[in-house]
Amino acid sequence: MANENLESKRWLIAGAAVVIQLCLGTVYAWSVFKNPLMKMHGWDGKTVQYTFMILMGIIGLAAAFGGTLVDKKGPRFVATIGGILFGIGTLIAGYADQVGSIMLLYLGFGVIAALGNGFGYVTPIATLIRWFPDKRGLVTGLAVMGFGAGAFFMGKIAPAMIKSFQQLDPTGTVIASGVSTTWYIWGVIFLVLVTGSAQMFKNPPAGWLPKGFTPAKTTVSAADSFTFGEAVKTPQWWMLWSMLCLNVSAGLGLISQHSPLAQDIYKKTMGLTGDLTPEQVAIVAAAGGTVVAYAAIFNGLGRLFWAKISDNIGRKMVFLIMFATQAILYVLVAKGLVATYWPFIIASCYLLACYGGGFATMPAFAADAFGPAYIGKVYGFMLTAWSTAGVIGPFVFEAFKPQALMIAAGLLTAGFCIALVYKAPQGKKSK
């Protein structure tokens, strides 16, 4: 009976993890806020883009620290702190738009919300790896699927909210962008949902295994797990770090410019040139939001698909496939062979599916290589690759726009080479 209760409990924890990740993943819809902020305050693209770069950099660092806290303080504590910070940071971002302060936007969305996001992101992963040794790829994919899918809801809902809350003076000039009210509402939602779901989190009893499950000999057991200090001394830890960084750099670069890029392609497809009417501007903005939303669905589904497939064909093979196919597709887009709206949506969906797949597969990859006992810190610090990619990807796509897609293809090719030569570390022997 006790084991059956634990079996039910672990699925409730998995459900709470999905809710948390859905909320946290809304940051991937950042690009739908970019143009309204630029138009309202006269900020240029790079100035606004720094917000997303800071956000991504801080998230990875916070996840590394949060992973250590999960191992020491437990998942409920860390996830609760994450929910509070993420909600408050979003509220501060709303106030930053209201008063027109770019520095306050950096602080609220780029730092405080990012700290909460990193704490909240790593906690479900570290917890579920311990609860689901029998479904490691599937359950980490399910959890982080929510993170990818969160952008779908924000990508579809936020443009309409921004427009409805927008205020115009009698001459038709925008005097309030609608972004602030949108963020105020979402900030409250995040506070309630993330902190509420965090109360479900708890580690399984020491030594617990699902009924009838025997760990595979090819993976590292809890008793033989590498500590962080041991893992980081192996070349394999750094190879996995590099693979994650390269995959995420390409994906985050695209995400950071997704809506503006999609809008440009939509205007070319529809033959829209010169100054647009307000109605045309709204249609173009909605077209950009649609691409963000559809791609976000596949960002989520890709996390579940690739992670589940990795349970069958292996983590290494999944990364080889993702790296190779993405590199080819980025080259096709760069060469203008995918230059109209709907083909671009299809390409975006696949690229974001692979981007999300890397996030979903890597926790299981790391746990297979180094064991589950210290996975909070071992994988948490591996997420500094996310921080690094959060600077590399958005910077490349903003500073080297004509060559950005080819650079992304080059990064993915480098990742393919690393994955090709990767071999699992030799396991420790239990003492």
Where along the chain do its domains lie?
7-205+219-421
User: Would you state the pLDDT for residue 172?
Assistant: 60
Alpha-carbon distance of 304 to 306, in angstroms, equals 6
CA nearest to 109, candidates 191, 27, 217: 27
Average pLDDT of the segment spanning 317-335: 94
Which tens digit of pLDDT belongs to each residue from 171-208?
Answer: 666 556 788 999 999 999 999 999 999 999 988 887 77
User: Would you state the pLDDT for residue 208?
Assistant: 76
CA nearest to 27, candidates 113, 91, 122, 107: 113
What's phi and psi for 247, nearest 5 deg?
Answer: -65, -45
User: Would you state the pLDDT for residue 218?
Assistant: 57
- Structure letter (DSSP) for residue 178: S
User: Would you state the pLDDT for residue 431?
Assistant: 37
Name 170's Cβ contacts closer than 8 Å, sequence gap at least 6: none
Q: Where are the beta strands (DSSP E) in 80-190?
A: 167-168, 174-176
Query: Percent of the chain at pLDDT above 70?
Result: 93
CA nearest to 285, candidates 65, 8, 33: 33
> Does the structure show a pLDDT above 90 at 91?
yes
At the second CATH level, the architecture of 7-205+219-421 is Up-down Bundle (1.20)
> Does the structure show a pLDDT above 80 at 98?
yes
pTM: 0.74
Which tens digit of pLDDT belongs to each residue from 111-149?
Answer: 999 999 999 988 988 888 888 888 777 887 877 787 777
